Structure formats: structure tokens, C-alpha cells
Amino acid sequence: MATFNLPQVKYDLIRLSGGLDLVTPTLSLKPGVVRDSLNFESSITGGYSRISGYERYDGRTSPSSASYSELTINISATISVGNTIVGATSGATGVVIDVTGSVVSITKQTGNFQVGENVRVSGVVKGSVTALSGSATTVQRSALLTSKAADVYRSDIGAVPGSGSIRGVAYFNNTLFAWRDNSAGTAMLLYRATSSGWTAVDLGKQLSFSSGSREILEGMTIVGHTSGATGLVSRVVLESGAWSSGTAAGRLIFSSTTGTFATTDDLRIGILKYAEADSTQTNITLLPGGKIDFDIGTFGASSATRIYGCDGVNRAFEFDGTVYVPIHTGMAVDVPNHIAVHKQHLFLSYDSSLQFSAIGDPYVWDPVVGAGEIAMPERITLFVIQPGDQSSGAMAVYSDSNTSILYGSSEADFRLVTYNVGTGAKEFSGKNISQTYTFDNRGVISLQTSLNFGNFDSAALTLNIRPFTQQRRNLVTTSGVSREKGQYRVFFSDGYGLYLTFINGQYVGAMPVQFPNPVSCMCEGRLPDGSETSFFGSTNGYVYGLDTGTSFDGQDITANMTLVFNSIGSPRILKKYRRGSLEITGNGYAAFDFSYELGYGSTEYMQPGSTSYETSLQASFWDSVSWDSFVWDGRTLAPSEVELEGSAENIAIRLVSSANYYQPFTINSAIVHFSTRRGLR
């Protein structure tokens, strides 16, 4: 009997890691690196994950909290999507999101429908309930209906009233705040998110006083002796002098007033004079056009935590969620650009001037009592507080092309030391995770790489995606972090962003994202249950919750990634590809299309034909169409088998996903089945 020596089938494991690389030669890369990607991120558990979505927010029920239920109805007249059906007996209601045969899917249900009762739309009987459930629901149908229910809730959520881009967002004391110019563009207003949507915050009124001889306290009602006007004091801003010596001077912030105080009015409680008015009260208003920079901090053990902010157009401010206090520093043009709370001082930047308040008091800016100024050679772009306690912590002070570190605890020992000349940071690009990360003219820099490599390109963590970062180095709008995912994120005005992942301080990789709504400002915080949250404001006036939902606020998340061409260690040896498998994990329904290219995509090879699983998905890269699909409904999945055909010296795998109802999923690894053939001639 003849003996046939069949080619031995071998197996190559590709661990997906390393992120995007646009510049390193192919043969120098590990096979799990991606050469092209969008809306995937390097996962701290390994592999690449399609990113989560985002959804609009104004304090009302979030779209991702939506649920649905199904009724089987003997329909006698048309029931349409968007109708509100009402149970004639039960009084239950629901908004229709889908009608498939006799099964009606609803959301926003109130009450409980009853079998046998009629259902009405605008008083007209449309049929009767025959069952309180629908037909067997597939995982895909469930995901689609959940998405449709989310759209109903989404339509309730509005933009921040006004015009133009969101100027700033801040999450404080479990409440989200947003700044936006009014509809006429003549002033900037502050709003809070509530259960009924965005509500304007009354900034109150202020009144200057002097000759204070009795201490005025919050909650007191002050009366003008001459004018008869009254004001309920919500904050006392003592800027100089002392009550004990009769020289206290500053401002009173009123939450409400009656009448108009007169200049030189004696400010009294009962028959006792407490101080003297220096002006009439004025409404606290904000000029339009600024961009909010803020820090959250406290001054002294007994002080409450508050927001301290500035915007480059108005005075700096303090805000506790209710009371808004403009901060007067005495500068002729008192419009600081950046702000930080550090070592019991409030720090402000005025272009190239670094100024700080008296210790323990953000209202006092008199050098006699500890306030001061440090001159910088360039315009300050960023403050980032470094890890440490009150005795050892320091603050990084950045300009566009220089980095300095401020050491010390007060005016007596503050020292500003040059850390690196030639390496700086773009405005709003600095964040701390395990160390400080910023976006410099060369890309993303950490303080450590800046120290090790100086002002050379090698200091950039993102050197291997230099074409991407150089194109956007002057487009940085803001930055943020996701500590749960170990990520530093930076965003650009063209709608792109960059997610960098770190594991135990070690850089894993960077991958780009693209949002239909550009990120203009953002903030992070902790929800009452301790979980992480983040929000961003966009150019359309909406505020969005990030890392939530299955869509880009109802739009598809289109994601793709192409692995580097993998020669399996033998770049000049032909391989016959036979089969493959992908290890996938996820939390719900998702789907993606799989394709691949052979031999650097050369026309000398017959590139694989394919069949598209879903025509709404993007066409495959390099003129190759999608041809297989994988669907799952569990938390994890055993390797999914894929067919591979053809012979070449290398192969590049590509994945595409596009929908507004897919849950995030992670591709951990791939295994390629192949047989070795001859060498290339």
C-alpha cells in the first residue's frame, strides 16, 4: 500500500496586545499588534475590546436604564410605534416601540395590563390583550428592543439651554453641572442636572462692604439702615482687615434681596451696625466665551469641599453647588486661565504669571499675609498636582514647551524648579493615574519618560503612532481618565480621541476612537455606590455620559481593527492556511464580520472571496468584503471556528463591527491553523 506524507498541520497562537502601531516595520512587530483600528481599546485583562458607548444626560432617566415588556394583543385596528396604549380596565400604560404580528413591545410601562382587557390609543379601542408576554424572544431581538426602548428615553433628554458649545462640566456632590452661553450669546449661564432636566442656577447678588466691626455670618439677614433693603447672606467673603479691629472689608453674597442697598448704607441687624456698604448690590453675571478649568478642594480641616474654577474670560470662582462666589485677586485684568488647589493655597495663572492666595484662604491675595507671584518664561498651560501628602507633594507647572515643578508649602519656601526644557503640555491635557500624563508637541508624554529621554521624540509614549498625533497636536480640547480601565484619554476638536491603557504603571498600548459628537470638555466623579462615572460636553450643547449604553447616543458604533501581517516566524516561507479560531468574551449580544488578507494584500495572490453577514455593516478594508459572522449571548465564549483558505507568506486578520445595539466585546486571541510549504522563489 502506498504511503502518503501529508503536510503537518501546525498552530500559531496570536495574543492580541500592543495597540496600534503605524510606523514600526512589519517584521519587527509582534503579530498581535494592530496596523489599523478605530473604536477598539487595549483591555487591562488582555486583548482588544470594542469600546462602550455614550448617551445624553440631563438628570432624567438614562437611556441605558430603559427596559421593555411584550404583550400579545388581538389587534383590531392599527397600533403604531410611538403610540401610547392604555388598558381600559387596569389603566396601565406603555409606549409602543415595536409591533411584530400580534406581539406589541412597550416601554415606559405604568401599572399592570390584564388579560382580556381592551387596549386603547387616544380613546380608540385597538384590540384586546390575550397574553402578558410575547413569542419566544431571541437574544438579538431582545438587544434590538432594548435599544428601541432606550431611544424613547433618549428623546426626553435635552441639551443645556443656550447657544454654542458646552463651556464646562463638573460633577460635584452627586450632581452634574454645566456651563453654556445663553441663546443670544451675551452671557454664560450655569445649570444643574435634575430629575426634570437642566435647571438654571441663580448666581445670586453681591455687595461690597468695609468698616466691618461685628462679624457677619452666613444665614443672617442684613438690613440697609438708609435704604431699608434686606439681603439674606449666603457667603461672607472677607478679603482684608479684621472684625475685631473694625477694618473688615470684602463682599457679601446674597441668595435673595428686597429693595436696593444704598452706597454707604449702614448694614445692620436690629439696631446694631455690623459694617458699611461700599456700593449697591449687583447681580453676579458671567461673560460668554470662556472655557472652564476647575479643581475640587478644601481649605483647612473644618472647611467644606468646593469647586474652584476659572475660564479665561471672567474672574475665578468658588462654588459649593448652591453659592457662587467670584474671587477678586486685585489684578487689573482679573481673568485667570488655569487653576489648582495645592498646599492650602489657591493657584491661578495669568498668562505667564503664577499667583497664589494666602495660605488657608482663597479670598485673600495680599502679599503681606502670604499671597505671592512667580514669573514664568512662557504662558502657563497646565497645573497638575503630583502624588504625595501636604508635606511631600509637589505641583507640575507646564507651558507649551517647558515643564517646571513647584516645591514647598508656603510663600516662605516655595521653589519653582525647571524639570525639562523643551517638553511641555497642551492646555487641558494633563491627568494623573499612576503618574502624570500630558499631550506635548511630540504626543503623549509622562513625567517619567520626560525625565529619562528629555525633549527628544523618544520621550513620547505614542512615538509608534506619530502620524496620528502630529496631525492633531494643535487640536487638543480636553483629557480624562478611566481608573477602572487603567486609561488616560485625550480628545481632539476633529472628533477623534486616543485611549492609552496602563497596567500597574506599565504602558500597554494606544488606540484611537472617533465620536460623532466632538468632546469639548469633560469631568470624572464617583457615583453614590462608589462606581466611576465621567461626562463630556460637546459642540452641539448636549452633555453625555461616557462609557455607558450600546451606541453613540443612538448612532451606530462603527469599529474595526486590522492585525499586522503575521508571517509566523518565517517571512520567506509559504504557508497553506486551513482554519482558525478566535477567543471572544462579552456580556451580551454582539456581532462582527471577519475577513483577512494574504501576502501583504498583493494581487499576485487570490484574495479570499466572501459573503456579507449584514449589509448595513461597513465594507471590508482593502476591497475585501466581509464573509462570516459570530454571535453569542453568554458572558464568555469558547473559541469560535473560522474558515481560512489560501497560501501566502503571511496573513492579516481584520474584524469589523457596526451597530447601535451591540454590547462591548473583547477579542483576546486568535489561533491560525496552517501547513508549511516551500520557500519563496
526 within 8 A of 54, measured Cβ to Cβ? no
657 within 8 A of 598, measured Cβ to Cβ? no
pLDDT digits (tens, 9 = 90+) for 342-374: 999 999 999 999 999 999 999 999 999 999 999
Measuring CA to CA, which residue among 227, 231, 226 is closest to residue 216? 231
CA distance 249 to 330: 14
> What is the pLDDT confidence band of residue 505, given thresholds at 50, 70 and 90?
confident
pLDDT of 647 higher than 60: yes
Q: Is 123 exposed, middle or buried (0-12, 13-18, 19+ CB in 10 A)?
A: exposed
> What is the pLDDT confidence band of residue 627, given thresholds at 50, 70 and 90?
very low
Mean pLDDT of the chain, nearest integer: 90
Long-range contacts of 259-263 (CB under 8 A, 24+ apart): 259/224, 259/227, 259/228, 259/229, 259/230, 260/227, 260/229, 261/207, 261/224, 261/227, 261/229, 261/231, 262/224, 262/226, 262/227, 262/229
3-class SS at 446? Answer: strand
Measuring CA to CA, which residue among 661, 663, 642, 664 is closest to residue 653? 642
Rounded mean pLDDT of 426-454? 84
CA atoms within 13 A on the CB side of 573: 12
User: Which of the residue ranges 52-66, 384-398, 455-469, 635-649 has the most confident prediction, judged by mean pLDDT?
Assistant: 52-66
pLDDT of 628 higher than 50: no
- Which pLDDT does position 591 carry in this prediction? 83
Measuring CA to CA, which residue among 156, 113, 160 is closest to residue 132? 113
- 616 vs 260, residue with greater confidence: 260
Angstrom distances, CA of residue 426 to CA of 109, 169, 455, 508: 49, 19, 15, 23
- Which pLDDT does position 603 carry in this prediction? 82
385 within 8 A of 346, measured Cβ to Cβ? no
450 within 8 A of 498, measured Cβ to Cβ? no
Least confident of 326-330, 380-384, 417-421, 510-514: 417-421
- Which pLDDT does position 522 carry in this prediction? 98
- Which pLDDT does position 650 carry in this prediction? 93
Angstrom distances, CA of residue 435 to CA of 387, 479, 481: 8, 15, 12
Rounded mean pLDDT of 5-17? 87
pLDDT of 48 higher than 60: yes
- Which pLDDT does position 390 carry in this prediction? 52
CA angle in degrees (0–180, nearest 5) for 255-260-263: 110
Write out the three cell numbers for 473: 497636536
CA distance 268 to 524: 44
pLDDT digits (tens, 9 = 90+) for 135-181: 667 888 889 999 999 999 999 999 999 999 999 999 999 999 999 99
3-class SS at 406? Answer: strand
- 130 vs 4, residue with greater confidence: 130
- Which pLDDT does position 392 carry in this prediction? 63
| Total residues belonging to the chain | 681
Angstrom distances, CA of residue 568 to CA of 160, 210, 572, 679: 54, 80, 10, 13
pLDDT digits (tens, 9 = 90+) for 197-249: 999 999 999 999 999 999 999 999 999 999 999 999 999 999 999 999 999 99
> What is the pLDDT confidence band of residue 621, given thresholds at 50, 70 and 90?
very low
| CB-CB neighbours of 506 under 10 Å | 9
pTM for the predicted model, two decimal places: 0.92
pLDDT of 554 higher than 70: yes
Sorted by sequence, the CB contacts under 8 Å of residue 419 that are 6+ apart come out as 396, 403, 404, 405, 447, 450, 451
CA distance 594 to 203: 55
- Which pLDDT does position 3 carry in this prediction? 54
Write out the three cell numbers for 105: 413591545
56 within 8 A of 65, measured Cβ to Cβ? no
- Which pLDDT does position 391 carry in this prediction? 57
Write out the three cell numbers for 322: 448652591
Which helix (DSSP H) or strand (DSSP E) does residue 491 occupy? strand 487-492
pLDDT digits (tens, 9 = 90+) for 75-113: 999 999 999 999 999 999 999 999 999 999 999 999 999
Q: Is 278 exposed, middle or buried (0-12, 13-18, 19+ CB in 10 A)?
A: middle
Rounded mean pLDDT of 24-52? 95
CA distance 382 to 338: 7
pLDDT of 489 higher than 80: yes
pLDDT digits (tens, 9 = 90+) for 378-428: 999 999 998 765 556 799 999 999 999 999 999 999 999 998 888 899 999
pLDDT of 454 higher than 70: no
CA atoms within 13 A on the CB side of 286: 31
> What is the pLDDT confidence band of residue 5, given thresholds at 50, 70 and 90?
low
Write out the three cell numbers for 544: 453625555
- Which pLDDT does position 643 carry in this prediction? 75
Which of the 8 DSSP states describes residue 618? P
* Percentage of the chain modeled with pLDDT above 70: 91
Which helix (DSSP H) or strand (DSSP E) does residue 374 occupy? strand 372-375
- Which pLDDT does position 548 carry in this prediction? 96
Rounded mean pLDDT of 259-270? 96
pLDDT of 638 higher than 50: no
In degrees to the nearest 10, what's the CA dihedral of 543, 547, 551, 555? 40
- Which pLDDT does position 634 carry in this prediction? 41
Rounded mean pLDDT of 10-28? 94
- Which pLDDT does position 388 carry in this prediction? 65
CA distance 140 to 378: 57
Estimate to the nearest angstrom the gap between the alpha carbon of 99 and the chain centroid. Answer: 36
> What is the pLDDT confidence band of residue 530, given thresholds at 50, 70 and 90?
confident
